């Protein structure tokens, strides 16, 4: 079974969705570690309840970003994971870290990329008056939120939406498509062709 490490910074609801899918047998990976940069992250408690080991790499305990990222890369390597999932990990990875794990990192973002990359994506969607938003699972590349798209899900933006209400509906879709993307990766059904990702049909005996 493919070994998977999750990186998260906050409440960990996407991480919980992965844990639930693994427990239900619909996401065929072994969760070998949670790595967080935040000693107060609620994701830590979720990991303990799911029996997933936790590594805390507190950014404030390092003199600079380079030292922090070196420690992060070491923790990722030591975890022995074949796939790394950024599930609400709120730090931009350095090019050195991205290059260390080519095509082995995926990220969930609360917008229909390439629209609204970066922070405050649901708020950006509301401010721009778009009719639809959603979420995207994509491969991680050196450019922020710009990697090849694996899966997307769409939600309508309602007239009375604010950033919080839209984000809550997007989150429901995040919890659905992130475990699905992990499953496709673990089953070897994702093929990168340039900037496009093909989802291959299941293997047949």
Query: Which residues are part of the catalytic machinery?
Result: 109
Q: How many CB atoms lie within 10 A of CB 120?
A: 14
Torsion of CA 176, 182, 187, 189, to 10 degrees: 80
Residue that is written with structure tokens 């973002």 in the block:
109
User: What sign has the CA pseudo-torsion 129, 197, 190, 100?
Assistant: negative
3-state DSSP assignment of residue 115 = coil
**How distant, in Å, are the alpha carbons of 37, 146, 203 from that of 57?**
5, 25, 39
Please tell me the distance from the alpha carbon of residue 55 to that of residue 31, in angstroms, as a whole number.
13
- Output the CA–CA distances (angstroms, integers) from residue 47 to 106, 109, 142, 177, 179, in the order listed: 19, 21, 28, 20, 16
Retrieve residue 8's tokens. Answer: 């998260």
Structure tokens of 181? Answer: 């993307």
At a CB cut-off of 8 Å and minimum separation 6, what does 176 contact?
A: 17, 153
Tokens of 7: 């990186």
């Amino acid at each position: 079974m493919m070994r998977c490490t999750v990186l998260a910074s906050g409440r960990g609801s996407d991480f919980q969705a992965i844990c639930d899918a693994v427990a239900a047998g619909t996401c065929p990976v072994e969760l070998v570690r949670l790595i967080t940069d935040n000693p107060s992250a609620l994701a830590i408690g979720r990991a303990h309840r799911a029996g997933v080991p936790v590594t805390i790499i507190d950014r404030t305990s390092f003199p600079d970003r380079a030292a922090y990222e070196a420690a992060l890369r070491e923790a990722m390597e030591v975890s022995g994971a074949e796939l790394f999932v950024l599930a609400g990990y709120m730090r931009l990875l350095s090019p050195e870290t991205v290059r260390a794990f080519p095509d082995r990192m995926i990220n969930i973002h609360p917008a229909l990329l390439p629209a609204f990359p970066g922070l405050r994506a649901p708020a950006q969607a509301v401010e721009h008056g778009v009719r639809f938003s959603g979420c995207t699972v994509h491969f991680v590349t050196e450019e922020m939120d710009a990697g090849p798209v694996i899966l997307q899900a769409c939600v309508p933006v309602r007239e009375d939406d604010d950033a919080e209400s839209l984000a809550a509906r997007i989150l429901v879709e995040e919890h659905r498509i992130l475990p699905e993307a992990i499953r496709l990766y673990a089953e070897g059904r994702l093929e990168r062709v340039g900037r496009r990702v093909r989802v291959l049909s299941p293997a047949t005996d």
